Structure 1
Amino acid sequence: MNLNLRQAILSNVTGHNADQLQATIDDALQQGEEKMLPGLGVFFEKLWQESNEQDRQEILSTLEKSLAE
């Protein structure tokens, strides 16, 4: 069986509005289960791909600050 996890995750959320996406993210974070990490990773990948250089620097700065704590 050839499973494309990335594509499966994207097909599950394609067309969702901001509220639905936030609910998905909040649910994944609240559950804290490792099985949710690939989905969050796909979300991050899409965010990164769609971000301009200024947005990327802001993301990196936020990550750096949160990982320093």
Structure 2
Amino acid sequence: MDLNLRHAILSNISDNDQSQLEATIVDAIQSGEEKMLPGLGVLFELIWQQSNEQEKQEMIEALEQGVKSATAGS
């Protein structure tokens, strides 16, 4: 990802509180627009960097289950 895009995304959310961050995530997912994916990726990167090993393992397990559910019957 281009660092300018990452910086722009971080600048856009830098003053957001928890409820605004949650709304950003929910809106991006509900909209289903592919243009929102880079922003979600930047947010995930921040979460990953702030997580300990146990939290990372929990995210990987949740991701694995989500992938299996999303691809079931494909």
Provide TM-score, normalisation by structure 1.
0.92
Give, as a single letter, the amino acid of the residue that structure 1 aligns with 2:4.
Answer: N
What is the aligned-residue RMSD (CA, Å)? Answer: 1.5
Gaps of 5+ in 1: none
Structure 2: how far apart are the matches of 1:56 and 1:39? 20
Question: Residues 31-53 of structure 1, C-alpha deviation per residue, up to 9 Å, x if partnerless?
Answer: 11000000000000000011000
Structure 1: how far apart are the matches of 2:9 and 2:41? 10
Gaps of 5+ in 2: 70-74
Question: Residues 4-44 of structure 1, C-alpha deviation per residue, up to 9 Å, x if partnerless?
Answer: 00000001001211100011111111111000000000000
Structure 2: how far apart are the matches of 1:25 and 1:59? 16
Provide TM-score, normalisation by structure 2.
0.86
For 1:35, the equivalent position in structure 2 comes to 35
For 1:49, the equivalent position in structure 2 comes to 49
* Aligned pairs for 1:1-69 within 5 A: 4-69=4-69
Aligned residues: 68
Hey, which bits of structure 1, 4+ residues long, moved more than 6 A? none
